[in-house]
Homo-oligomer: A and B are copies of this chain.
């Protein structure tokens, strides 16, 4: 998978090693702000790695509950920059216009400021209509174990810069369907969901999503919004991520490395019934 050119920038740096200094050409993971507009009204600005911007915008709207259904998005395009070469603005048109964007922004702020305890945060996700993902989906432990290596070998920008998060979608057979990289883990997840939106394959009820690094509350919420039944991460989940996964019936896997993983929620989708405690 070839990463978009704008996702890497070259720069001259100095390397110190064992007392010796030498100049070095380094590849940096690109970070730039992206503004998402609904019609003419700015909705949000997020720092992201350029590339797959339409996916990011669509995924953000869907996973943050700003739109409840893919059908509500009528169209999207990158707004041309003044110099004509690249753009950091995506304009989204929603159906059923005129749409009250100020109301939308209020809801958005309310959703992200969803209370002062973990329980209130979980209740807010229920109020958004997030439900238990497909209970018929299963994935074999041996197949799960193969996904980390597949992710690593496809992380092109990471291998060049050492500085990116990744999210990837696998089917139950362990086939890598799509991978996205970004300086923000949540952006990588949004890009995956936005990809599915553009491919018209939402909800993602027959897939495993694997993320690099940790699995926090926000990532679990985004997976649920996309209907993903199994979320796996290379590192540890947070307490609130586990609570939300358990309450809403998502399978949450952590520390997926080599031939070992830990199941925090929804064992039935990934552990043999007879063997699970």
Within 8 A of B (CB), among A225-277: 235-242, 255, 259-264, 267, 270-272, 275-277
Q: A117, B141: Cβ atoms under 8 Å? A: no
> Which residues from chain B contact A69 at a C-beta distance below 8 Å?
none
> Which residues from chain B contact A259 at a C-beta distance below 8 Å?
17-18
7 contacts between A and B (CB under 8 A): A14-B277, A19-B142, A20-B275, A28-B237, A163-B214, A163-B238, A183-B216
Given contacts A262-B15, A264-B13, A267-B14, contact A114 B33 (CB under 8 A): yes
> Which residues from chain B contact A163 at a C-beta distance below 8 Å?
214, 235-238
Q: B31, A240: Cβ atoms under 8 Å? A: yes
Interface string of A31-59 (1 = CB under 8 A from B): 11111000000101101010000000000
Copies of this chain in its oligomeric complex: 2
A11 CB within 8 Å of chain B: yes
> Which residues from chain B contact A28 at a C-beta distance below 8 Å?
236-239, 242
Q: B217, A29: Cβ atoms under 8 Å? A: no
State how many residues of chain A have any CB contact under 8 Å with chain B: 72
Given contacts A21-B276, A45-B114, A263-B16, contact A238 B11 (CB under 8 A): no
Q: B30, A260: Cβ atoms under 8 Å? A: no
Q: B214, A183: Cβ atoms under 8 Å? A: yes
A22 CB within 8 Å of chain B: yes
A116 CB within 8 Å of chain B: yes
